[in-house]
């Protein structure tokens, strides 16, 4: 079934570490060799062997409009005709930046970068420069990219692969990153009290999307907002996943909490590499060339990524697909839940808008500790069973899945039926 993919993987391992360019793609946590993808369209993805799958990975979140959306493809094609990169300023950068600041009231100014990792890394550097402080607070299980400061109790691929520590990260860097419990305000308060006047920033995924999907507890984000304000700390929302995904204005719109800085990515590139960070004008004025904190990127604001992102965001703004996305995701989540009860297999189904995760545990998942009670071996068997049913999902218990505007009612019905069949196989 996966003959061509297996051949490609054997070849890839000769030239790339693990045969991949991002660790989770290796499928190690589900005990199989990875698929190699040939093409995709709408809600479907096709592997090198020609097999078709309903896709819930969506390139790990960016493709809220589905694969190869015609307006996005047209925008990229037209931009490419004029050249792929200039290393100079373009008008389209202004258009996308203006649109972001209009949609996100917390962002007065924004700087484009090339990835979510760059966005988070830069935001923390700016916060340190603005406050004159060194330490930051992050949360266990939250992933903000692979910058040294964030690879302490990180989620996403590090969690998936069971990487226990932070090899390559110096003790000095690690000592400046303080770990709090997600959804546990008391732990944040204790850290602040133990480090008076030393915390530059609190960085958080407002909806944790890299340890599965874990919504914020009631008053958690509001509590962070108050603690930050009371102690002169910059509150950074990492909305690389949630931005334009859970609502047009991201989680900060959904929950009504205004951060000092925001990290964006994924959807604002329409499927091309992109990231951005922005915030209050007085903070962003610290960024070179206006201020002393240096950050640069040769391909930042790349015209192809800007064109794709501008097309995607304009569609979201004009068409407001969020009620329909929520409806489709709700139907899928409800169907999965009902099948799981029928088969007597304990599954916790967490969902915020069109992002969701099913955890193979009988405990409600509210943080990293409860997420880690999941039966990862059972998930691996489930993943294989779903793949054989034509459903492509993240090859990790600890990653989010996504519904796009391209998913149809028929796709949802087929997925629920596949889920039912998969549980029969593994039950």
**Of these residues, 44, 109, 266, 384, which one is catalytic?**
266
230 is catalytic: no
**Of these residues, 2, 143, 277, 382, which one is catalytic?**
143
DSSP string of 129-171, one letter each residue: HHHT--EEEEETT----SSGGG-SS--HHHHHTT--S-TT--H
Judge whether 184 and 141 are in contact, CB under 8 Å. Answer: no
**Of these residues, 47, 140, 176, 238, which one is catalytic?**
238
Judge whether 2 and 10 are in contact, CB under 8 Å. Answer: no
238 is catalytic: yes
Radius of gyration from C-alpha coordinates of the chain:
21
Measured distance CA(263)–CA(324) in Å, rounded: 26
Compute the 3-state secondary structure of the chain and give helix, strand, coil in percent, each to the nearest 5.
45, 15, 40
Tokens of 207: 């909806």
Measured distance CA(345)–CA(336) in Å, rounded: 11
Judge whether 346 and 358 are in contact, CB under 8 Å. Answer: no
**DSSP code, position 35:** P
Measured distance CA(210)–CA(88) in Å, rounded: 34
266 is catalytic: yes
Query: In sequence order, what are the residues at sequence separation of 6 or more whose Cβ sits closer than 8 angstroms to the Cβ of residue 222?
Result: 257
Classify 354 as helix, strand or coil: coil
Strands annotated E in 244-320: 261-265, 275-279
The residues annotated with a catalytic role in the active site are 143, 238, 266
């Amino acid at each position: 079934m996966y003959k061509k993919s297996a051949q490609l993987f054997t070849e890839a391992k000769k030239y790339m570490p693990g045969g991949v360019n991002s660790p989770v793609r290796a499928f190690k946590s589900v005990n199989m060799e990875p698929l190699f993808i040939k093409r995709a369209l709408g809600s479907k993805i096709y592997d090198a062997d020609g097999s078709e799958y309903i896709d819930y990975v969506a390139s790990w979140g960016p493709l809220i409009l589905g694969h190869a959306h015609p307006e996005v493809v047209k925008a990229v094609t037209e931009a490419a005709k004029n050249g792929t990169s200039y290393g100079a300023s373009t008008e389209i950068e202004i258009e996308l930046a203006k649109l972001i600041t209009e949609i996100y009231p917390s962002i007065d100014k924004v700087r484009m970068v090339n990835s979510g990792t760059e966005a988070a890394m830069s935001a923390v550097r700016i916060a340190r420069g603005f406050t004159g402080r060194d330490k930051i607070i992050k949360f266990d299980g939250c992933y903000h990219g692979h910058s040294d400061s964030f690879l302490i109790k990180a989620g996403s691929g590090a969690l998936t692969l069971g990487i226990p520590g932070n090899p390559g990260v110096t003790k000095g860097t690690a000592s400046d990153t303080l770990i709090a419990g997600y959804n546990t305000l008391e732990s944040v308060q204790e850290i602040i009290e133990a480090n008076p006047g030393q915390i530059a920033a609190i960085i958080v995924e407002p909806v944790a999307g890299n340890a599965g999907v874990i919504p914020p507890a009631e008053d958690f984000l509001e509590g962070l907002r108050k603690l930050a304000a009371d102690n002169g700390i910059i509150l950074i929302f990492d909305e690389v996943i949630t931005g334009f995904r859970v609502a047009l204005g991201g989680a900060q719109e959904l929950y009504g909490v205004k951060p000092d800085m925001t990290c964006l990515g994924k959807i604002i590139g329409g499927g091309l590499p992109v990231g951005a960070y922005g915030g209050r004008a007085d903070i962003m004025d610290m960024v070179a060339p206006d201020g002393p904190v240096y950050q640069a990127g040769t391909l930042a604001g790349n015209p192809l990524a800007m064109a794709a992102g501008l097309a995607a965001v304009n569609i979201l703004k004009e068409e407001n697909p969020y009620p329909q996305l929520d409806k489709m995701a709700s139907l899928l989540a409800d169907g999965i839940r009902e099948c799981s009860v029928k088969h007597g297999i304990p599954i916790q189904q967490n969902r915020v808008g069109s992002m969701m995760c099913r955890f193979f545990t009988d405990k409600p998942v509210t943080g990293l500790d409860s997420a880690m009670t999941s039966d990862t071996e059972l998930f691996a068997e489930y993943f294989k069973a779903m793949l054989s049913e034509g459903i492509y999902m993240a090859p990790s218990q600890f990653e989010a899945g996504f519904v796009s505007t391209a998913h149809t009612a028929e796709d949802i019905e087929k997925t629920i039926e596949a889920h039912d069949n998969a549980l029969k196989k593994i039950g």
